[in-house]
């Protein structure tokens, strides 16, 4: 069974970059554009959660 990863990010280019590379490593990628959508998807589809916030 493949591992699912949820990406919550509002910048489309970052989501595309991460999705592409994670899918190459055989992960199933789920993405959300904001925290609210991310929480909904996490509850519906994720088993584990690792949260990290980075503000440059």
Q: What digits encode the pLDDT tens for the residues 7-32?
A: 999 999 999 999 999 999 999 999 99
Pull the structure tokens for residue 24: 């190459």
28, 3 contact by CB (below 8 A): yes
Provide the Cα torsion 11, 14, 28, 51; round to 10°. Answer: -70
Sign of CA dihedral 51, 54, 7, 17: negative
The pLDDT assigned to 1 comes to 81
**Residue 51 is inside which H or E element, if any?**
none
Strand (E) positions, 1-56? 4-8, 28-32
With pLDDT > 70 as the criterion, what percentage of the chain qualifies?
80
């Amino acid at each position: 069974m493949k591992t699912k990863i949820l990406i919550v990010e509002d910048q489309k280019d970052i989501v595309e970059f991460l999705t592409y590379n994670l899918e190459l490593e055989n992960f199933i990628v789920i993405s959300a554009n904001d925290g609210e959508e991310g929480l909904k998807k996490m509850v519906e589809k994720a088993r584990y959660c690792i949260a990290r916030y980075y503000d440059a």
